[in-house]
Each structure stands twice: as structure tokens, then as C-alpha cells.
A and B are shown apart, each in its own frame.
Chain A
Amino acid sequence: MSIQAKHIEQPTVLYLNGVSVSFDGFKALNSLSLYIAPGEMRAIIGPNGAGKTTMMDVITGKTKPDEGTILFKDEIDLTKYDEAAVANLGVGRKFQKPSVIESLTVFENLEMSLKGGRSVWAALNHRLTAEKKAKIDEILTMIDMTGRAHDMAGSLSHGQKQWLEIGMLLGQEPQLLLIDEPAAGMTDEETMKTAELFKMLAKKHSLMVVEHDMDFIEALDCKVTVLCEGSVLAEGSLAAVKANQKVIETYLGR
């Protein structure tokens, strides 16, 4: 796949142009184009099966697109890399289903997520320095889990696992965070706390958040993209999108 020249002028952290993926002839992504500016937070909504998770799969190297361009920071062609390489380039991903390492402690989960030392040799000779410990403590405070640092991740509640996984993303120090349905299974209070956390993160990172919960999207207070049948149906402020006739017909109306 040759890199096509970007056709827009502004700098982007993530640039998707004409991306298509099909599974046995079914087009999960259909010439999808989407741009995220550095430091932007973007909410993605859309009906089940719209292709939201598949979009994250193609960005993170899990699925290869049939066609289209995917650029990270305007110049890195992400389609050339696999999952581990994309992660190390600075793209962090949170799964739809919380996936923390259940038989390790919260602390160990975070320690493992810390940036750097990915080779086998480095892992064998890893030492927990004061600097790393401080970083872990900082994340623990941010995700409000200082008291549970040495509990098994498997013993956490669903919402806490979601938070731990977000904490693990922060440990990786990515520039772009892809977050799939973070509020699923959270209480209303946890949901609002999560929205606050994301707004704080958006100061330093670019975020792409997929979510169904409209209150949550409202609290994020950012630009919204509506996906449907593998391509963008509408884009704009939440109010504008909600008022969009096509969106009402295909998604909100149902």
C-alpha cells in the first residue's frame, strides 16, 4: 500500500482516509475518513456493528485494511506495523471488555505498563527504580486506587478494572489514546468521574473515545463523530449531531 499524500493542510495526530475492511465480502469499514488534531478529544458514537471496534483494530495493527491510508502524526504509516510496534510508537488502546492481568496485583499491572524495557533481556533485568515507583504512585493517585495497589486485579469491581486499564494506558505514555466503551458497567458516579479524568488527560494527550452513554458524551463536551455502516454519517458538536436528520433516522430515532 503506497502512502498517499495527505489532502488536508492542518497537522493531525491521526489521519484516516478512504479506509475499507471487509470480512467475507461484508464491508465493516467502508471508505472511512476521519482526522484527529493534536491534543483533541473526539467522541465516536454509532449503532452496534457500525465498525467502531474494527476502526480501532485497523489503527492498532490488529487488522490490515484492504485499502486506504492511516497516518500517525502525519508521517508514520500505521498499516505497516503490528500491535506491539503500534503500541510502542505511542498509540494506547483500551478494550471494550476490561482486560487487565487478573492474577497480578494492581501495582504489578501498572509496573508492566510503564513505558520502555519491552525486550526480553530488559524484562529479565528490570529493576523497580525510585523514579518508576513514583510514576506508578502518581497513576495510582490519578485513578484513585492507592489503597488497592497490592490487591489482585482480579478482585476489583468491573468499574475499577476499567480504571486500572486506563491507568495502564497512562503508564505507556502514549500520545494517542483509543478508548472503547469505557463507561460500560460503571455506576453513574463512576461514569462522571471517568469523564472528568478524560478531560484532564485531554490536556496532554489526544483521545478517541467510543461510547454509547449519551450523558457521558455530553459530559466530555467535545466534537462528536457518528459512524454508521462503516463510514462517517455526521460530525460536529453533540447538539448539531443530535439535530441531524440522518442521525435521527438511522441511530437516535431507534
Chain B
Amino acid sequence: MNDSFKGGPLTRLIMNDQAGRRLLGVLLAISILVPLSNLLMPEGSILHVSTFTMTLLGKYLCYALLAVAVDLIWGYCGILSLGHGAFFALGGYAMGMYLMRQIGDRGVYANPELPDFMVFLNWTELPWYWYGFDQFWFAMVMVLAAPGILAFVFGALAFRSRVTGVYLSIITQALTYALLLAFFRNDMGFGGNNGLTDFKDILGFDLQADTTRAALFFSSGLALMMGYLISRYIVTSKLGRVLVAIRDSESRARFMGYRVEHYKLFVFVVSAMLAGVAGALYVPQVGIINPGEFSPINSIEIIIWVAVGGRGTLFGAVIGAILVNYAKTYFTGAFAELWLFLLGGLFVLTTLYLPKGVVGLWAQIKGKMGGPGSGSGSEKAEGQA
């Protein structure tokens, strides 16, 4: 039954995780086959994946990584962040700033230094916080650092003052809402309500080219796999069990001598960075980042993805994010105004009837059929309270 203490890190990462192995296998196949079919198959062929579809799937992969980040803190440590969209958006803005500077003098105003919106505002020089973003490596550091530092400062304050439960959820909503308002302002220097857009290329490659799109898709798949493995490494270590202890009985963890605030802070920062990476890969694929990404409803949607997929399993988060977003794409096409109601209804139904999400339902069905291997250790929905 219990494998978590057997074997070294590689064993516990891959060998003891049947569901995860399958997930990684599928992700790897998709990450390779979708770009290949887009680039190599002739357009009329049924094996051809259009660039539109590939970009859409790439978006789902970014959302899935975001969901894994949220599951890491919510599913395993009980931190219900309703502001994780903020970290996603910050990663997105860091990437967006790089892409803006890549435009160079090809903007409408042909200013080699300043993005169009700054010229439009009659600014004459680049604000200091835009320095360095012409360098790809610097932008990539900021993709991790901007969400990471915000999460560190916010988490250090909140966790040290022992803000938990609903109160924590409320202040995370306030955080993302405050950022929404701030980024809307033109004088913040992030393009105001239009955000950053009209990107031309990335690392010198044309963003409209299929090859670039294919590479971005592959990178998203790779990032999701890495994010899953990093999270899995954390939750299968003793650190992961301390997180579960904090989730189930915070005071017990404290009286055992664990500094709860340090553990929460660590996992919160890791999660924020994963969200930042997801945002950074999302922006070049959708071609825009604007303050709307900070809106509180976005962060709540992430929670629904995770709840629908199955909290505290990591792979459930991936499944939930993809399922809900697929449904969203379908419904917003068919009857857009109903989507929010459907989403709300879905959440209520999941909470009431599927507390362990789709993944839990699947395990139940398998258990009922009584097939060999049903309910085996690796299928154990870890940390279900």
C-alpha cells in the first residue's frame, strides 16, 4: 500500500506513480506529435492539426500548469489562494515586456527605444523598470522573480501573522484586485487597459510562423511535465508529508516542532513561480497580456479546474484544467452568456457530489468493477481529507 518511503528520489518520482507515468506519457506524445503533424502533414489531411487548434491546446497546457501550481498549495497544504491569477499575469507581463522590446522600431511610431503606448503618452525615456527586458535571459529571470518575490513578501506577512482559511483567501483576492486596478492605470507604464500586444517575434523568430508556434507548444508541454515532476518531487518527500500535516492539523505540526510559516512560504513561492512560467508561455501564444488577467474571477476559475479534476493529486489538476477549458471553449462559442452560470453550477455539483473530482470518480468506478489493481497504492488519491 504505502510506497512513499521506499526507494530513492527517482523511484518515488516515477516508479511509484502509475497515474503520473501515464499522464507524462500522454503529455510527451502530445508535445511531440501535435507540432509534427502541424508542420509535416498537408493541410487537407485528417492527421493535420491546424495552427489554430495547436495554439488553443497550447493555451490549455499553460492553464494545466497553473492548475498544478494551485493544487500544490491548496490540495496538499490547504492554502486556498484566490489570487493565483496574479502570479500568472506577472509572469505574462514579464514575457510581454520582452516581446514589446523585441518590436524595436517596427512599431507605429517607429521609436527604436520606446513601445508605442509610451510614445503615445508623450514619454521621452524608458522607465527604469523596463531596463534589461530587451535581454531574453533577463526577462526569463523576471518571469520567476516577479511572482516569486511578490509571493515571498505577501506570504511572509500573511503566514507569520497566521492568517489562514477564509481570511487568507480574501486577502489573496484583494491582492489580485489591487494589481488589476494598478495595471489599468496608464502611468504605471504597462500599457494601461490595452496591456501589451502587437508582438512581432521572439528570439528573432516570427511569432506568426507555424514553426515558432510549434516550438511554443512544445515548450508548454515540456514546462507542464517539469512542473508536474517538481511538484511531485515535493509532495512525495517528507516535506510533502509535513504539508499534509499542516493541512490536516496545523497545530499538531507546530507542536511537533515544524515551523509552519516556513513550510507554507516555501511552497507558496514555488507555486507562484510555476504560475509565472505558465503565464510567460501563455502570452506569446495568445499574443496579448492585459490587466484583465488579474481579474478576481480568473483566480476563482483556477480553483474550479482543480476541484473538478480532483484536489490533492496533481494529475487531477491537469485533467480538470483541460476538461473545464475545453468545455469553456465549446460553450462560449455556442451560448456565451450562459458560461458563468454553467461554471458556477459545475462547481456546486462537484463540491456536493464529487468531492474528489473526476479522478476520484474514476477510482470509484474502477473499484466497483473490482478489476485487478483497482485501489492500488499508486492510485491512492493522496491527501484526500
Residues of A bordering B, CB below 8 Å: 60, 62, 82-84, 87-88, 92-93, 95, 99-105, 107-108, 111-113, 117-120, 123-126, 128, 150, 168, 172
- A123 to B249, Cβ gap below 8 A? no
- Establish whether residues B2 and A101, one from each chain, have CB atoms under 8 Å apart when the complex forms: no
Decide yes or no whether B177 CB sits under 8 A from chain A. Answer: no
Q: Tell me whether A84 and B260 are in contact (CB under 8 A).
A: yes
State whether A87 and B255 are in contact (beta carbons under 8 Å apart), knowing that A99-B249, A101-B249, A102-B248 are contacts in the complex: yes
Q: Counting CB contacts under 8 A, is B354 at the interface?
A: no
Q: Choose from A95, A108, A118, A120 the contact partner of B257 (Cβ within 8 Å).
A: A118
Q: Are B256 and A113 in contact (CB under 8 A)?
A: yes
| B385 close to A (CB within 8 Å) | yes
Q: Report yes or no: A101 in contact with B244, Cβ–Cβ below 8 A.
A: yes
Residues of B with C-beta under 8 A to A128? 5
B21 interface residue (CB < 8 Å to A): no
- 11 new A-B contacts at CB < 8 Å, known A103-B248, A113-B256, A118-B258: A83-B255, A87-B256, A99-B251, A101-B249, A103-B383, A104-B245, A105-B2, A107-B2, A119-B262, A120-B263, A126-B237
Q: How far is the CA of A177 from the CA of B256 in the complex (A)?
A: 12
Could you count the A-B residue pairs with CB atoms below 8 Å apart for me: how many are there? Answer: 92
Closest 3 CB pairs of A and B: A126-B238, A87-B257, A123-B239
Is there an interface contact between B237 and A104, defined as CB atoms closer than 8 Å?
no
A84 and B239: CB pair below 8 A? no
Say yes or no: A111 contacts B238, CB within 8 Å. Answer: yes
In the complex the two chains form, is B239's CB within 8 Å of A124's CB? yes
Asked whether B366 is an interface residue with its Cβ less than 8 Å from the other chain, the reply is no
- Evaluate whether A108 and B262 lie within 8 angstroms (CB atoms) in the complex, with A101-B245, A103-B384 already known: no
Complex contact B4–A108 (CB within 8 A)? yes
Bound Cα distance from A100 to B383, whole angstroms: 14
A117, B385: Cα distance in complex, Å: 26
B244-303, CB < 8 A from A: 244-245, 248-249, 251-252, 254-260, 262-263, 266
Let me know if B328 is at the binding interface, CB within 8 A.
Answer: no
Contact present for A111 and B249 (CB under 8 Å): no
Residues from chain A with a CB closer than 8 A to the CB of B251 are 62, 83, 95, 99
A161 to chain B, nearest CB (A): 12
User: Assuming the A-B contacts A101-B245, A101-B249, A119-B262, are A112 and B4 also in contact, with contact meaning beta carbons closer than 8 angstroms in the complex?
Assistant: no
A100 and B252 form a contact (CB under 8 A):
yes
Say yes or no: A111-B256 contact (C-beta < 8 A), given A83-B251, A102-B248, A124-B239: no
Chain B contact-residue range equals 20 to 34
Chain B residues near A123 (CB-CB < 8 A): 237-239, 242, 258, 263
Give the distance to chain A from B269, nearest Cβ to Cβ, in Å. Answer: 11
How far apart sit A118 and B260, CA to CA, in the bound complex (Å)? 10
Q: What B residues does A87 contact at CB under 8 A? A: 254-257
Q: Is residue B108 within 8 Å, beta carbon to beta carbon, of the partner chain?
A: no
**Does B234 count as interface, using CB distance less than 8 angstroms?**
yes
Docked pose: A84 CA to B384 CA in angstroms: 26
With a cutoff of 8 Å between Cβ atoms, the chain B residues found around residue A102 in the complex are: 248, 385
Residues of A within 8 A of B256 (CB): 87, 112-113, 168, 172
Within 8 A of A (CB), among B360-385: 382-385
A-B contact pairs, 18 of them (CB 8 A): A83-B251, A84-B255, A84-B260, A93-B255, A99-B251, A99-B252, A103-B244, A103-B382, A104-B245, A107-B5, A108-B4, A108-B241, A111-B238, A112-B242, A119-B262, A123-B242, A126-B237, A126-B238
A104 and B257: CB pair below 8 A?
no
Residue of B nearest to A106 (CB): B2
- Which residues of chain B are near A99, meaning CB under 8 Å? 249, 251-252
Complex CA distance for A101 and B256, rounded to whole angstroms: 11
Query: Whole-angstrom distance between the alpha carbons of A169 and B65 in the complex?
Result: 39
Residue of B nearest to A85 (CB): B257
Closest chain A residue, CB of each to CB of B385:
A103
Given contacts A123-B239, A150-B2, contact A84 B245 (CB under 8 A): no
Instruction: Give the chain A neighbours of B5 by CB distance below 8 A.
Output: 107-108, 111, 128
* B1 contacts partner chain A, Cβ-Cβ < 8 Å: yes
Residues of chain A contacted by B242 (CB below 8 angstroms): 112, 123
How far, in Å, is A241 (CB) from chain B's closest CB?
29
Given contacts A105-B2, A107-B2, A112-B238, contact A120 B262 (CB under 8 A): yes
Query: How many Å from the CB of B273 to the closest CB on chain A?
Result: 15
Report B-chain residues with C-beta under 8 Å of the C-beta of A62: 251
In the complex, what distance in Å separates the CA atom of A75 from the CA atom of B244? 35
Residues of A within 8 A of B257 (CB): 84, 87-88, 118, 172
B266 touches A120 (CB 8 A): yes
Among A60, A100, A107, point to the contact of B255 (Cβ < 8 A): A60
Residues of chain B with a CB closer than 8 A to A125's CB: 237
Note all chain A residues with C-beta closer than 8 A to B245: 101, 104, 112
Q: Which residue of A lies closest to B234 (CB)?
A: A124
Provide the residues of chain A in CB contact with B383, threshold 8 Å: 103
A83 contacts which chain B residues (CB < 8 A)? 251, 254-255
**Chain B residues with CB below 8 A from A168, complex form:** 256
